[in-house]
Amino acid sequence: MNKTMDATKKLSDVIQVSIEEKNIEQLNLFLSSTSDVVEAFNLKTLLYLYRLLKKDAQHDVKCLHVSCVLSCLQHFLDSNIDPLIWEELVEKVSLISGLLFVISATFIKDDNIIERCTITSLEIVKISQIVANSMLTKSLEPLLKIVTSVLASNTIQLQILSHISCMLQNSSRETRWEVLPSVSGCLTNLSNYLLLCGDYETQVSVVEVLARCWSYVKEEHSAALFTNRPSILLYFNSYKFLNFDPECRLFLNEMNNSLGNEQLVYSLPCLVVVADGVTLKRPLDPLYKEFWVDFNTSTRSISFYYMPNPEENWELLNIEMENIQCIMARNSSGCKSREGKVIPAVKIDVTLKFDPAKPNLPQVLRIYPRKTHDFTEIEKNLSSKIFGDKYKIYLPMQMKYWVLMTWHWKCSTVQHLRTLFVLKVHLKLMT
């Protein structure tokens, strides 16, 4: 007992000095050099860390509080402490983990800190099913409320959704069925948020959480999902999500395309994606038949999944607006820029399938507002509000006629139903 109290006292003293001097490296140095890790990982230490998080403080001091707690938890994880000890202390660990997310997401609002919270919490959840059950019970409701909050950033939402999904995956079915009735209203809000978030990656994360809750929801509260647009529930019910990524793609494409003027994510099939001279491969799956590129209106980004190598998992490439120098749509035969300028940039060429009978290409490029720059009468006639000054379109005369005909009078012949475009995205080189 004395050794335990001494270890807690030493740790709390070092934390206090680190906070006063605003230098967390002192704590990290102490943690890396101490030999009594097991003695320090006890209820008294966890109570101290919990009270530290609850203490009122200014923003910069609160960041130090959170960083100190995260450093301690990560050190305990790295020390390979017996899972049975974690299970003995799981109630307080669960409270601390949930509080870390709430403070980081609602008060600190720092993407790096929320990422540290996620990494640490994911490791804790995977210690054992008993730990995962406690984490789910203590923190599911507040985390779901944060995700659907208008104040949460996209990064915070993605990190928290990842944590929720991990808790659901690693917890027992019995625990899920005990907890989910108390958060049915949150699940309703989450399903409705799927229609409003305007970012494909976020949509995938939301669907993953809903799919992990589906066995309960389907039997007990199936009508509670998608209350703002009940027809979406029919799409959702038609998938089992056993092969998650491709089935999620099919579901979200159906859902987004059904939203009409309320659509916020536009997904276009492309033929070729070339990033900095390297041709990227589409995900290899029988259900993933197209190389989809997603235009996300809420996050002002373009994203797509690809496979670095056949043996590797899918990866997401996300191109944010602030990293874009300019966007140029051109026909597949190629056209040069009128300015003839050479921009120091990484070029990403995306050859898109464009259906002139359904003019979705100009529609999706509305993600670049307030940057209008018209070059021809056709662009002025179509919708100058859609294009930003980063977007420029160069078409030969014949192609102009086709576009003019299809957008103003619809397409009259089958041979014009498919036209190939290249979307050139120039990414700013980081210096």
Note the pLDDT tens digit of each residue in 144-174.
999 988 667 888 999 999 999 999 999 999 9
**389 in Cβ contact with 319 (< 8 Å):** no
Per DSSP, 107 falls in state I
Q: Is the pLDDT of residue 46 over 90?
A: yes
Neighbouring CB atoms inside 10 A of 32's CB total 9
Q: What is the pLDDT of residue 277?
A: 65
Q: What is the pLDDT of residue 225?
A: 87
3-class DSSP assignment, residue 119: helix
Q: Is the pLDDT of residue 68 over 80?
A: yes
5, 106, 296, 425 from 318: Cα distances, Å = 49, 25, 10, 12
Based on its alpha-carbon atoms, the radius of gyration of the chain, rounded to whole angstroms, reads 26
Reading the block at residue 44, the tokens are 């008294």
197 vs 397, higher pLDDT: 197
Q: What phi, psi does 107 have (nearest 5°)?
A: -115, -50
Domain ranges of the chain: 266-428
Q: Nearest CA to 66 among 27, 101, 26? A: 101
Q: Kindly report, residue by residue over 307-356, the tens digit of the pLDDT.
A: 877 777 888 888 877 766 666 555 444 433 334 555 444 555 565 555 55
* Average pLDDT of the segment spanning 32-42: 81
**407 in Cβ contact with 382 (< 8 Å):** yes
Reading the block at residue 212, the tokens are 């992990």
Interatomic CA distance for residues 149 and 151, integer angstroms: 5
Reading the block at residue 171, the tokens are 């917890």
**149 in Cβ contact with 193 (< 8 Å):** no
Q: Nearest CA to 252 among 214, 187, 198, 175? A: 198
What is the full DSSP assignment across 122-136?
A: HHHHTT-HHHHHHHH
Reading the block at residue 394, the tokens are 């160069």
* Average pLDDT of the segment spanning 282-303: 86
| Ranges 184-193, 275-284, 420-429, most confident | 184-193
Confidence at 245, pLDDT banded by 50, 70, 90: very high
Q: Is 311 exposed, middle or buried (0-12, 13-18, 19+ CB in 10 A)?
A: exposed
* The model's pTM: 0.80
| Ranges 6-15, 117-126, 181-190, 325-334, most confident | 117-126
Residues paired with 421 in a beta bridge? 331, 352
Q: Is the pLDDT of residue 383 over 50?
A: no
Q: What is the pLDDT of residue 364?
A: 57
Q: Is the pLDDT of residue 229 over 70?
A: yes
Reading the block at residue 82, the tokens are 């017996």
**97 in Cβ contact with 139 (< 8 Å):** yes
Q: Kindly report, residue by residue over 204-227, the tens digit of the pLDDT.
A: 999 999 999 888 877 767 778 899
Q: Is the pLDDT of residue 384 over 70?
A: no
Per DSSP, 273 falls in state E
